[in-house]
Structure 1
Amino acid sequence: MKIRAFLLLGLACTLLAVWGTPVSAHDSLRSSTPAKNAVVSGLDHIELEFSAHVSFPVVILHDAAGHRFESGTPRTDGPTVTEAVAGPLPSGSYTVAWRVVSSDGHPVEGEIPFTVRSSSTSPGRAAPSAGARATAAADSGGQSGIPGWVWAVLAGLVVLGAAALLSGRGNKRAEKDEPS
């Protein structure tokens, strides 16, 4: 009886590991231009790439004083969101605040801080520095939700409790069936 309970537990944990995690996961930010904490010499657009198709994007670019620099409305092309930047950015600290609706219907949001250091010898806007376009996977920027591993652990504990209950009932039946 105990072997059957452990096999049931193993099967349940395997099924949860395979199907449970993707179901509870929201789309995440894979990369951005500019990257988190990048130092750029200028910026003419913001690009956010997500792990899946997103919709209803909101992108706000502001400096430390709260002045906004985005231009127009963000455009979506599958998993990529692009936003134009209004005019050349003066040197200083900036933040890209973003919010999208994940492919599972839940809102996901985050922030990407970066710095502009304008070169006094180069006129106009320059492209982002070499390090500006990098993956932001390690920082999904304030996403909310319960991680998949938490659900897997909770489900495992429920299955373990059920197996212990079933195992206890089997032992009581065996004791009643034995002649005295």
Structure 2
Amino acid sequence: MRKALLALAITGVALLGTATPALAHNVLISSDPADSASLATGPAKVTLTFDQYVQDADVNQIAVTGPDGNQWAEGPVTVENNVISAPLRPLGPAGKYTVGYRILSADGHPVSGEIPFTLTKAGTGTPAKVDAAKASGAPAADASATSSPSGSTGIPIWVWIAGAVVLLAIGLTVALRTGREPSQEKTKQ
């Protein structure tokens, strides 16, 4: 019986150890402009830094929506290890701007969020054209609303569940086979 419990405990530890990577989504640790910052002049680009590397994929997006609802991010999104950035057009009206982002996490799942900042003095820039924003794949201002597991290019959850079931079956098989004592088998013969 002790061998069976030991095998079951080892199987449980193995299951927990393999499930950990599925829970390791990237976390935003800093941004430029900073969260809720007040700026007199608009930045030339948006830079987001995460706790883990970001997969360099075509699905990574950054959008900057102004107080007038127009898009201000323009150009390709670049990824360097755990830092993602996108150039901005010179900003226009004063007010609240929202940086919306959606990135492909190190574990293959999408991570999205928003960072607000305020432009205190109006700039002279003009917004990006709607067609240009759509062509660059810019997310809507509410990037978190577009997050869905079906759009993920990561490992589906059923793979983790199937792996857990297989490991559990192996553990139980080993426990049952090693749990028999030789003296019991000799008395049955």
1:69 corresponds in structure 2 to 72
More strand by share: 1
Residue ranges of structure 2 left out of the alignment (5+ in a row): 125-143, 150-154
In structure 2, the CA distance between the partners of 1:46 and 1:78, relative to structure 1 (3 Å rule), is same
Q: CA RMSD in A?
A: 4.2
Q: 1:39 aligns with which of 29, 33, 37?
A: 37
Measured at CA, do residues 28 and 94 of structure 1 come closer, stay the same or move farther in structure 2, by a change above 3 Å?
same
Q: Aligned residues: percent identity?
A: 22
1:78 maps to 2:75:
no
The Cα offsets for residues 34-82 of structure 1, whole Å up to 9 and x where unpaired, read as 344x132143121112311421222111124420011222222222111
Please give the residue correspondences for 1:44-59 in structure 2 after superposition, counting only pairs within 5 Å: 44=43, 45-50=45-50, 51-55=52-56, 56=58, 57-59=60-62
Q: What is aligned with 1:20? A: 19
Q: 1:115 to 1:26 in 2, by over 3 A?
A: closer
Query: 1:117: Cα distance to partner?
Result: 4.3
Q: Which moved more, 1:24-33 or 1:60-69?
A: 24-33
Q: Distance in 1 between matches of 2:113 and 2:26?
A: 15
Distance in 2, matches of 1:9 and 1:89, equals 63
Q: Map of 1:58-137 to 2, 5 A cutoff?
A: 58-104=61-107, 106-118=108-120
CA-to-partner distance for each residue in 1:105-147, whole Å, 9 max, x for gaps?
x351412131314159xx99xxxxxxxxxxxxxxxx676669x
Asked if 1 retains the 8 angstrom alpha-carbon contact of 2:72 and 2:88, the reply is yes
> CA contact under 8 A between 1:59 and 1:96: conserved in structure 2?
yes
User: Hey, what does 2:128 align to over in structure 1?
Assistant: none
The Cα offsets for residues 6-50 of structure 1, whole Å up to 9 and x where unpaired, read as 2122212222333321255344433322344x1321431211123
8 Å Cα contact 1:62-1:95 kept in structure 2: yes
CA distance in 2, matches of 1:15, 1:102: 24
Give the TM-score, by structure 1 length. 0.58
Q: Which residue of 2 aligns with 1:134?
A: none
Q: What count of residue pairs does the alignment treat as equivalent?
A: 148
Instruction: Report if aligned partners of 1:91, 1:115 keep a CA contact under 8 Å in 2.
Output: no
TM alignment of 1:130-145, pairs within 5 A: none
Between the aligned partners of 1:35 and 1:114, the Cα distance in structure 2 is: 8
Distance 1:68 1:6, change over 3 A: same
Tell me the amino acid that sits aligned with residue 48 of structure 1: L
Aligned residue in 1 for 2:4: 5
Which consecutive unaligned segments of at least 5 residues does structure 1 have? 125-140
Structure 1 residue matching 2:9: 3-state secondary structure: helix
Matches within 5 A, 1:153-164: 155=164, 159=168
CA apart distance, 1:85: 1.7
